[in-house]
């Protein structure tokens, strides 16, 4: 038997979907108190919402394979999802459920490896498209190299970051399922193409954005560096933490603008 058994699986109907999961959560009383958010920030830095609650007041709204926080203002509109472990499969599962709950816009903030020599730990890259070197997107879309972010949301988020006095760049990321299998051959190739970062979530989120017609974007904060074909880690994390805080605040700015315009 050859694999995949159904190469056109993306064309086949599913047995059940996120609407059924959300319906079941409601039936058994397992829905978060923020049951119909309109905007979601998927935040890979788990402690950030609670640590910055004095700037952006939040309350814990429940659990969905992680911790869901609700932004207090505007009330019942914006959720912040943390502690879900990352990776495209879980990102897609959550994104599907949020769409079924009524979400109209999703932003992902994560950290990743740096592929270009002119970038440094703490640098911020707003992602325009992601290389689909993961498995989840192929269950939804035909084979292709890229999944794209929403162009208008890319512009808006980059402007919001810059408005907070911080520089950022835009570009392509490489989304992989296997962080310990990033090979020198791949890094050389993607460097030559100008790919800026490697991470594990963006292609999955952009796929749901495309399939479900919901604007999505991601931001990668540089963490470790692979540009010299060896693993380099920063001696201090202060620049990275500062960038994460800026991206967090700018992302919430954009979600508020989107939902009140």
Contact 222, 140 (CB under 8 A): no
Contact 189, 78 (CB under 8 A): no
Superfamily of domain 16-24+33-260, CATH level 4: Nucleoside phosphorylase domain (3.40.50.1580)
Residue 1 has pLDDT above 60, yes or no: no
SS3 170: strand
Residue 171 and residue 118: Cα distance in Å, rounded?
13
Residue-range domain boundaries for the chain: 16-24+33-260
* DSSP-assigned beta bridge partners for residue 189: none
Q: Percentage helix, strand, coil, to 5, in the chain?
A: 35, 25, 40
Residue 121 and residue 239: Cα distance in Å, rounded?
7
Cβ count near 2 (within 10 Å): 5
Angle, helices 238-260 vs 151-163, to 10°: value is 120
128: its two tokens: 């325009």
Span 164-175, pLDDT tens digits = 999 999 999 999
Mean pLDDT of the chain: 95
Span 112-152, pLDDT tens digits = 999 999 999 999 999 999 999 999 999 999 999 999 999 99
Contact 5, 45 (CB under 8 A): no
Residue 232 and residue 133: Cα distance in Å, rounded?
23
- Predicted TM-score (pTM) of the model is 0.96
* pLDDT category of residue 225 using cuts at 50, 70 and 90: very high
């Amino acid at each position: 038997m050859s694999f995949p058994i159904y190469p056109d699986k993306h064309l086949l109907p599913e047995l059940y979907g996120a609407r059924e999961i959300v319906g079941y959560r409601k039936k058994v009383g397992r829905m978060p108190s923020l049951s119909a958010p309109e905007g979601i920030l998927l935040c890979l830095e788990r402690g950030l919402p609670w640590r910055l609650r004095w700037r952006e007041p939040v309350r814990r709204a429940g659990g969905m394979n992680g911790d869901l926080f609700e932004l207090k203002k505007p009330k019942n509109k914006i959720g912040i999802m943390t502690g879900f472990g990352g990776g495209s499969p879980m990102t897609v599962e959550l994104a599907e459920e949020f769409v079924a709950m009524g979400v109209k816009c999703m932003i992902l903030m994560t950290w990743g490896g740096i592929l270009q020599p002119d970038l440094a730990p703490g640098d911020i890259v707003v992602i325009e498209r992601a290389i689909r070197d993961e498995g989840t997107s192929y269950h939804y879309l035909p084979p292709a190299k890229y999944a794209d972010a929403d162009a208008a949301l890319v512009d808006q988020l980059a402007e919001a970051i810059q408005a907070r006095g911080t520089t950022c760049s835009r570009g392509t990321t490489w989304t992989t399922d296997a962080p310990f299998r990033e090979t020198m051959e791949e890094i050389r190739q993607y460097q030559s193409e100008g790919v800026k970062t490697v991470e594990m979530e963006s292609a999955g989120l952009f796929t749901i954005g495309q399939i479900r017609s919901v604007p999505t974007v991601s931001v990668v904060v540089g963490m470790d560096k692979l540009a010299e074909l060896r693993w380099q880690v920063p001696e201090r994390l202060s620049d990275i933490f500062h960038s994460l805080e800026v991206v967090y605040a700018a992302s919430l700015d954009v979600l508020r603008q989107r939902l009140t315009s």
